[in-house]
Structure 1
Amino acid sequence: MDNQEENNDWKKEAPILAGLSVHHPFSVPEGYFEELPLRISNAVYLEKIKTKVAESGFTTPINYFNELREDINAALLKEKIKAAVPEGHDYAVPANYFEQLQSNILSKTIYEAKTPQSPRVVRLWHSKLLKYASAACFMIMSATGVYFYQQHKPAQKLAYNELATEQILYDIDEDVIIDHIKDNDLQQAKPAAKDVALENYILSNYSQNEIASNL
């Protein structure tokens, strides 16, 4: 009776709290207590196994899970390539290919080094037409050079003679000329009018070199 009266008293004092549904705040799964002894024995057995095994029984390589996606994609791509390539078209090498590869390379290298290379002969004249055309050009050039040399030679000889005559006149001393006149009693005659006109004509129409060459 006392407990019931006390319950009624607090319900009157806290009617909101008394109006809430009454249930236990903690709950357990169904059959928890029935399976509890088995769960405890299993947990004890696992702990004993852990103490006997120093490390975990299952290990994975480093970055296994980080690279797992790339490995799976690579394996799938490999399978697709195998499915796309028909059978019998695989790459194959002869038997003992890699074992004999080094010796084959060395034998070829030594053979190429010992084999002398013949000198390459380059033909100067590739055709007869080119040969004849070159000979004709050479003959024309030679004839042209000889022609211009012959044309230039007389003019060069005449110029040389004129220079030699002038040099001889300049080399004669005046005293020698005077002595020559005195020794031969040469007197200067007065020229006639015809002689004066002829002298003026000669001086006007002929150069000193031409006069000296005709003396």
Structure 2
Amino acid sequence: MENDLENSEWMNEAPHLAGLSVKHPFSIPEGYFEGLPADIEEAIFLDDLKTSTPESGFNLPQGYFESLSTKIQAEVVGYTVPQDYFQQLQEKIATKTTAERVSKTFRLWHSKALKYASAACFVLISTLGVYFYQHTNPSLSLSADAANEQMLYDIDENTIIEHIQSNSLTQESPLVAEADLENYILSNYSQNEIASAL
């Protein structure tokens, strides 16, 4: 009874604290006790490993750092620059580049015969090119087809309809549904291609 009275007193004095949920603040990760023996064995093994090996793990020869600077200087001696090297470098580069810049003139036309022979070859090749172009030019036959096709476009639409009706021609029904044709056209042609075909 006294406990209930004490509990109610502190609850009245600290309502915020009393409103907090009552739960244990410490939690143990799941599977902690199952993995504990393996964790302990690993820790013991690592501790034994640390004590059985030397602290650094590497051994340096005695006096290594004291003799290091002399070793480096001995190796660098082979890489010295001759005296006044950089002062003479500019002059050496200038002499080499100006010496190689001597212009050489080659005559392309040594004789008049070479000039006439090359002109004759040019005329012969040009003539053969024009001859073969006229006899094998596909654009000439295409231009006739284009003219015939243009004449078909010039025929009035009503004239074509009257011709079809007068000859009692019937329209054949396609083997494919119109919806399938529309889907094929829309999936295989762009809007620009469809608009240019109309």
TM-score relative to the length of structure 1: 0.27
TM-score relative to the length of structure 2: 0.29
Work out which of the two has the higher radius of gyration on C-alpha atoms and give 1 or 2. Answer: 1
